[in-house]
Copies of this chain bind each other. A is one copy, B any other.
Amino acid sequence: MKKINVAVAGLGRIGKIHLKNLCRNFSDVQVVAVMDLLDESKTIADQFNIPVFVKDFDQLLAVPELDAVVICSPTDTHADYVVKAANAGKQIFCEKPLDLSLDRVKQVLETVKGAGVKLMLGFNRRFDPEFKKIRQLVLDDAVGDVQIVKITSRDPGPPPVSYVKVSGGMFLDMTIHDFDMARYISGKAVKEVYAKGAVMVDPEIGKVGDVDTAIITLTFEDGSMAVIDNCRKAVYGYDQRLEVFGSKGMAQAENNFPNNHKLYTKDGISGDLPLNFFLERYDASYNQEMAEFIDALVSGGEVPVDGNDGLLSIAIGLAAKKSMVENRPVTLTEIL
């Protein structure tokens, strides 16, 4: 069997995860090259016996017989790299978001479309076994018509303020996952967004124009609703829960835990906190999303999360920002 030749661009936290999964878990994949700006990253390439290490994306694309690129570089390079890869006729997996500018995203998607290559966006949470199970229950009609989607998404701690400044704000950096999740779980199109935010974790976040705590209500085209609550800091760890309520029932996904022990003492019953770090919590999802990307390449089928999914999540995020600033519900038609 001919192997698919893949290159990985960017060897930060996510890049390393994808590299490891691509090297270890897929017998039909050959990682032929990696790219990173830092010299030190060469040791990672060596550790996985990757024959080519480069520091420039054009050089990466020039590697002979390359089939696909996995883009894990900083957000502000995503659009450029995707365009280059598309023009080079490579299949593309790109971490979210494509870009913080909706116009730029639209341009990129045009290019990708014109090039006839596949583009998959890294909304990894769709591939988490817990959330996938809930989606399956919805598809199986176990909850009936979806009436309310509830997403709790709280981080263990805020990123540095320097990052917050360039992140596009909480809605585009953090809630964007939840916007995608609301669309994925319900299978519905978002019509309107109302976002209410507050600075309750760190005043410095407020000083750079962002919020750290928020409640966002999404209204779908059919009038059903989703509600998301976010906070940049939950002292008890990474809080990732989901609930779908419908005409036939309700399905819930709880947090994941390092282990399930319970300790009973004279002081009470206690147990472990949820898995604290997103790489641990969503470990299985990263492998699964890559597996489904590879499957699409092998089969020639559709990727499970495409450019339009990326576009819509950004649009909802921009609508949420506008809603919060203007303190009124904002329709997606105002944004798109």
Residue ranges of A at the interface with B (Cβ–Cβ < 8 Å): 24, 27, 47, 129-130, 133-134, 137, 142-145, 147-148, 150, 152, 154, 194, 196, 198-201, 213, 215, 217, 219, 223-225, 227, 229, 231, 234-236, 239, 245, 247-254, 256, 258-266, 268-273, 327-329
Contacts and interface: CB of A to CB of B under 8 A. Distances in A.
16 contacts: A133-B261, A134-B261, A142-B263, A147-B200, A196-B329, A201-B247, A215-B217, A235-B247, A235-B265, A249-B264, A250-B264, A251-B262, A268-B273, A269-B272, A270-B270, A270-B271
Contacts of A147: 198, 200, 213, 231
A249 B266 contact: yes
Contact of A225 (B27, B215, B223, B234): B215
B261 A251 contact: yes
- Copies of this chain, tallied across the complex: 4
Given A236-B264, A253-B261, A269-B273, 12 more contacts: A133-B261, A143-B263, A147-B213, A148-B213, A215-B217, A248-B265, A252-B263, A253-B259, A254-B260, A254-B261, A268-B273, A269-B271
Contact of A250 (B198, B215, B236): B236
A250 B268 CA distance: 11
B270 A268 contact: yes
A196 B195 CA distance: 12
Contact of A129 (B223, B247, B259): B259
Nearest to A148: B229
A261 B253 CA distance: 5
A67 B261 CA distance: 38
A272 B264 CA distance: 10
Contacts of A254: 260-262
